[in-house]
Amino acid sequence: MFWRNLLYRDRMDREWHEELESHVQMLTDSLLAQGLTPREARSAALRQAGNLTARREEIYRMNGIQWLDSISGDVRYALRGLRNQPSFTVIAVLTLALGIGANTAVFSVVNSVLLKPLSLPRAEEVVDLAQVAPGAGGVISTRGLGLSTSMYFTYAEQNRSFQSVGVWTFRPVTVTGLAEPEQVFANIVSDGLLQSLAVQPEIGRPFTAADQRPDANGTVLLSHGYWQRRFAGDRSVIGRAILVDAVPREVVGVMPAGFRIADKPADLILPMQLDRRRAILAGFSLNSIARLKPGVSIKQANADIARLLPIWVRSWPDTPGGDTSASGFAEQLFLHSWRIGPDIRPLRESVVGNVRSVLWVVMGTLAIVMLIACANVANLLLVRVDARQSELAVRAALGAGWPRVVRQLLVESLLLGAAGGVLGLVIAYGGLRVLVRNGPSNLPRLSEIGLDSRALAFAAIVSLVSALFFGLIPALRYTRPSVSLSLRDNARTMSHGRDRHRARNTLVVVQVSLALVLLICSGLMIRTFQAMRSVHPGFERPDAVQTFRLVVPPTLVPGDEQVTRMEQAIVEKLAAIPGVTSVGFASGLPMDSAAPNWDGILKEGQSYAQGSRPPMRLYLNVSPGLFGSLGTRIKAGRDLTWTDIYGGRRVVMVSENLARELWGSAQAAVGQRVRANDIDVWREVVGVVEDVRHLGSQEPAPAVVYWPVFGRLHYAPVTLATRAVACTVRTDRAGTAALLNEIRQAVWSVNAALPVANPETMREAVDRSMARTSFTLVMLGIAGAMALLLGLIGIYGVTAYAVSQRTREIGIRVALGARPADVRQMFVRYGLGLCAMGLTMGMVAAAVLTRLMRSLLFGVTPMDPTTFAVVPLTLLVATLAACYLPARRVSAVDPVKCMRAQ
């Protein structure tokens, strides 16, 4: 009944009208019958009936909901008003849409990366068993200290806090026997790992404890993607054998789509098949994932591991098969010198890692942009409300209470907010598509990013809150009932009162100061970027170096010298490719983020106290010619030669900083002897190379010992080859498909079972190491540019408005003899005054806020004087332009015309 009434209200109104009319007619009829004239009868009938129109309105109102009715009136009125001023509407909606869009996009990223739990069953129980070792120096990576095999056994068997404990690692493996030999990434997992993640295979079975025994037959799990790609989703793949590193492995299952361990997607999963008899204390290279027992806190789990550490150190030998009685030394080293301790954290946190600070900085800056956008729209609305003073005054005079007028104004801003929100969602959607496609590949959980219900709610809330914010400022400012003043004011008999401008001026000052903060932040990032680009990484022209990876599995080529001769043959084939100037290879390349190998080095002639350990150095195995192809200069001595390598000569090279540290200078190092430990043989330093920033442009160059790719191990009397190598090919054709093809042919001409993997130029590796900085830079740059633009529009708008409102005053001034230049100056001074206030406030705010981004900076301090001088100056000049443009219009004011017009 109710809704029907509302919907058919107009028809019902017509019916009532008809009924009332017929009532009057019948009354008239009866009066006519009493002998009155038709005119007398009609007027008597109307008198008797009373005010029928009022009755009709009463009924009409009864059939509606009053507030809904008047709101819809407000909406219609606001829509008409907005349509009538398209330029205002477009600017306001676009400003809001940009702000809301950018904020929603970044919120989606923050939400997907930082807030949403991992898509695992009871994800809150899954933890990374990370450890800290503050005394271990370079051994620890950003993830902390890994687990050793023996730690895994101790923790998995003796803990009281976990349902399951597993360790995992990853490496490239070669798959042969399907099509072309292919190199893919494999996750290698121990027992307990898949249990901790609690993910079941899509088809087939998971690994069992039997699969994990060292003598078990080879098994493998496929990823969903690999199964689709190589087997076209054929379910009969279970039970088939594939050759992984030339070892036959039976496919036992396929993992579901989207499965990955931490943030390392892989095509294959292999069982780790750890051998308890060969486990020793050291070798802290395994990642771990465990599942807490229900109700156990991370603190309790930490205490549990801390309890197990002394047990571990006493239960395992230092060398394979060694005895555990001499554990005093190990205890001293690991527990007292390295100070190993547990640092368990939720798996989500260790996946997200150091992106957290970047994302929050970006989110914060975009919130500031949103504030500026709101201030801008509020300013536009102020101008608009100002122009509507007389209209509002007339409405107030006609009896509209001020809540009614405020409501009208708020409805208008809410409409703007809603329009901005909808358009903003479109922008956010587009922005996210671009981000997911081009975003830094090291942004974790990139593929999970998308607009979800939370992001939609966020956009809605931002639209609403900002609409209230920028709507209330003009609404509160201008609806105080001052009818007479407004009407009089509008007659333009006087200049505007000072307090009229105060709200607008405050907004502009705030805008300028916020814009300055953002610009200083982006300025600091630009300086960081510059500093990183200008760092000499220790190699030359990275875009002319093509790199790729190669692994020679023992099952393919058993003999170690054979492997090295094969690698040498490949190098020679590569060097014969037209345009190639030099070729080399090494166990790891600068900035390739491969798991590095660290150990100490002892120099001859220095005695080391029992139990103390020398500092950790980066160990790399390099081929002759590597430094030449990288463009790394040899500072003293000579490069390694193949004669050194095959002749079994015990030689090494060291980095310049290590040479300085141990012997005082690069020259002094040549001819000196070092060894890795007490059981190692002495090795002669034949050359010193310049420092290379192996860990990335922002990290200082580590001290490096370069070992030959083939030679006697430092911890056992065996001679081994380097089977997993990264090759470097210097040529101007680097990065082209043609070159890559020729490289492939060259490699296959030596051995057709070797895949060429991970081809990229050194430039790409460098860019990747700077991805975080460039991502932050781009985001801050966008935010800064938006802030600058919005701030300038704000200043321009306010000055232009001031000019237009004071045309009369200008006319009088000019008529009284003021030169246009003077008047112009007056307005420019006005704008600059506002700007100066904004700049002062902004400088103070920036000085405080830039401290928060210290961890993102490199080579500049948060209070970098250049940035703090250049940015405000630039902003000042831009403001000058924004003030000068509207002020120029002053000269166009013709005093006679303008006086007459008013």
Partner 1 sequence: MMVLRTLNQGPRHGYAIARRIHDWSKGDLEIEDGSLYPALNRMLHKGWVEAEWGVTENNRRARYYRLTAAGKKQLETESSAFNKMVRAIQLVMRTS
> According to the binding rule CB under 8 A, does residue 48 interact with partner 1?
yes
Residue 474: φ, ψ to 5°: -65, -35
3-state SS, residue 587: coil
Looking at the Cβ atoms of 56 and 763, the one nearer to partner 1 is 56
Nearest Cα residue to 681 out of 646, 647, 718: 718
Phi and psi at residue 52, to the nearest 5°? -70, -35
Give CA torsion, residues 212, 214, 215, 219, to 10 deg. 40
What stretch of H or E contains 485? Answer: helix 483-490
Please say which residue, 63 or 751, places its beta carbon nearer to partner 1. Answer: 63
Q: How far apart are CA 75 and CA 410, in angstroms?
A: 10
- Distant-in-sequence, close-in-space partners of 877: CB < 8 Å, separation ≥ 6: none
Per CB under 8 A, 804 contacts partner 1: no
Binding part of the chain for partner 1, among 27-35, 374-382, 787-795, 879-887 by CB under 8 A, reads 27-35
Contact 537, 724 (CB under 8 A): no
Neighbours of 235 (CB within 10 A): 11
Q: Give 117's DSSP letter.
A: P
Nearer to partner 1, 4 or 533 (CB): 4
Q: Is 20 in the site for partner 1 (CB under 8 A)?
A: yes
1 binds partner 1 (CB under 8 A): yes
If binding is defined by CB under 8 A, does position 26 make contact with partner 1?
yes
Which one of the spans 48-56, 103-111, 349-357, 629-637 is the region binding partner 1 (CB under 8 A)? 48-56
Does 604 interact with partner 1 (rule: CB under 8 A)?
no
Looking at 6, 44, 49, 837, which residue binds partner 1 (CB under 8 A)? 49
Q: Indicate the pairing of strand 162-176 with strand 757-761.
A: unpaired
CB of 13 to partner 1, least distance (A): 11
Count residues contacting partner 1 (CB under 8 A)? Answer: 27
- Which segment (12-20, 313-321, 396-404, 483-491) binds partner 1 by CB under 8 A? 12-20
Which is closer to partner 1, CB of 5 or CB of 324?
Answer: 5
Closer of 29 and 180 to partner 1 (Cβ): 29
Among 14, 40, 51, 822, binds partner 1 (CB under 8 A): 51
Shortest Å distance, C-beta 24 to partner 1: 9
Which residue among 6, 16, 280, 668 contacts partner 1 (CB under 8 A)?
16
Q: Nearest approach, Cβ of 65 to partner 1 (angstroms)? A: 13
**Backbone torsions φ then ψ of 177, nearest 5 degrees:** 95, -5
* Minimum distance from residue 51 beta carbon to partner 1 (Å): 6
Asked if 314 touches partner 1 (CB under 8 A), the answer is no
The residue among 48 and 902 lying less far from partner 1, judged by its C-beta, is 48
Residue 5 lies near partner 1 (rule: CB under 8 A): yes
* H or E stretch at 150: helix 149-158
Q: How many CB atoms sit inside 10 A of residue 437's CB?
A: 8
- Cβ neighbours of 815 (radius 10 Å): 12
> Could you say which of 10, 34, 39, 50 contacts partner 1 (CB under 8 A)?
50
Q: Show the site string, 54-93: x = touches partner 1 by CB under 8 A, - = not.
A: xxx-xx--xx------------------------------
How many whole angstroms separate alpha carbon 186 and alpha carbon 191?
16
Burial label for 753, CB within 10 Å (0-12, 13-18, 19+), is middle
Residue 32 CB, nearest approach to partner 1 (Å): 11
Q: What residues does 219 pair with on adjacent strands?
A: 250
43: contact with partner 1 by CB under 8 A: no
Residue 60 vs 748, nearer CB to partner 1: 60
Radius of gyration from C-alpha coordinates of the chain = 39
Residue 308's contacts (CB-CB under 8 Å, 6 or more residues apart) are 154, 155, 158, 159
Confirm or reject binding of residue 32 to partner 1 (CB under 8 A). no
Q: How far is the CB of 55 from partner 1 (least distance, A)?
A: 4
As measured in angstroms, the least distance from the Cβ of 38 to partner 1 is 15
Rounding to the nearest 10 degrees, give the CA dihedral for residues 814, 815, 818, 820. 30
Sequence-distant (≥ 6) Cβ neighbours of residue 666 within 8 angstroms: 635, 636, 656, 659, 660, 688
CA–CA distance, 820 with 822 (Å, rounded to integer): 5
Among 7, 8, 14, 15, binds partner 1 (CB under 8 A): 15
State the nearest-atom distance from the C-beta of 5 to partner 1, in Å. 8
Residues that bind partner 1 (CB under 8 A): 1-2, 5, 15-16, 18-20, 22-23, 25-27, 29-30, 48-52, 54-56, 58-59, 62-63
